[in-house]
Amino acid sequence: MMRSLRVIKFVGLLFGLMLVVQPVRAIYLNSLIFDIESDKQFLSIPVVNDTSRSNLYTVSAFRIDKPGEGGENRIRGSEMDVIWSPLSITIPAGGKDFFKVFYRGPKDNQERYFRIVFRESPITIIPFRNDEKATDVVPMVTMSAILIVRPRNTNLMHAIDERNGVIKNTGNTFFRVIIQKGCNGDDESSEQFYMLPGESYQSAAVRGENKKFIVALGKYIPLDEMCVNQSSGNADKK
């Protein structure tokens, strides 16, 4: 039985956000999905302090079997596959800095997934108290994202069956799917999601006359024939 894709939904299935307090502003990342391409050794992740105070930022990471529903199972023995520099950074209010994330694991034809966790805590000087029972609570904000390490020999492949409304990822690396509304739609009102290797997605939107694209590795690949055939037919009538 064909499984419809529930992995890495574009609307934020991957977004893990845990708040000890509820500030108006907090740590800001420019993406919730980062990938290291096959010819790269590392990537730089920008971190923005979107608060009114100086904060300390730290990073941790661990490998998982796959992101999203039905996954997120931690894989032991890969603790040193991903390392980062520096170990921590201090960013002033409204400031920006970078963590460099390095991949040091196996390089083969398998795609690997990691959950990377960013922690933000204020730089606070706790005053001396005569009352030993008094406590000070230091708030911490934690945000997580997904790090994907593409295979050394990346094979970007797909299959589409518009008659049955099915898209399959037949390669060994993930990609993003965009399904626009109609043949003259746009990305803003489109349905968007990610597909892992081996995943299938079935929907009436794939069967319909909607523009469909795959986005990966800097490529924007059109999928549909229906809108192309419709455009050709209209051109023939002119």
Q: Where are the chain's structural domains?
A: 16-124+138-149, 158-233
**pLDDT range class, residue 9, cuts 50, 70, 90:** very low
**pLDDT range class, residue 235, cuts 50, 70, 90:** very low
Answer positive or negative: Cα dihedral of 32, 37, 41, 43.
negative
**pLDDT tens digits, residue range 192-219?**
999 999 999 999 999 888 999 999 999 9
Q: How far apart are the first and last CA of the chain?
A: 45
Q: What does the pLDDT read at residue 226? A: 72
Q: What does the pLDDT read at residue 55? A: 95
**pLDDT range class, residue 130, cuts 50, 70, 90:** low
* Residue 41 tokens, joined: 């050794």
Q: Is the pLDDT of residue 187 over 80?
A: yes
Q: What does the pLDDT read at residue 135? A: 57
Answer positive or negative: Cα dihedral of 196, 198, 71, 154.
negative
CATH of domain 158-233: 2.60.40
Answer positive or negative: Cα dihedral of 64, 65, 71, 73.
negative
Q: What does the pLDDT read at residue 224? A: 78
* Residue 87 tokens, joined: 């170990």
Q: Is the pLDDT of residue 23 over 60?
A: no
CATH of domain 16-124+138-149: 2.60.40.10
Put simply, whether the predicted model's pTM sits higher than 0.85 gets the answer: no
CA distance 225 to 81: 42
| Equal fold, 16-124+138-149 vs 158-233 | yes
Residue written as tokens 């979107």?
A: 50
Burial of 114 (0-12, 13-18, 19+ CB in 10 A): buried
Phi, psi (deg, nearest 5) at residue 236: -70, -30
**pLDDT tens digits, residue range 94-118?**
999 999 999 999 999 999 999 999 9
| DSSP tally for the chain: helices H, then strands E | 2, 17
The arithmetic mean of pLDDT across residues 146-164, rounded, is 95
Q: Is the pLDDT of residue 148 over 70?
A: yes
Q: What does the pLDDT read at residue 133? A: 59
Closest residue by Cα to residue 193 from 16, 32, 6: 6
Q: Is the pLDDT of residue 127 over 80?
A: no
Q: What does the pLDDT read at residue 129? A: 61
Q: How far is CA 146 from CA 112, 116, 210, in A?
A: 10, 6, 29
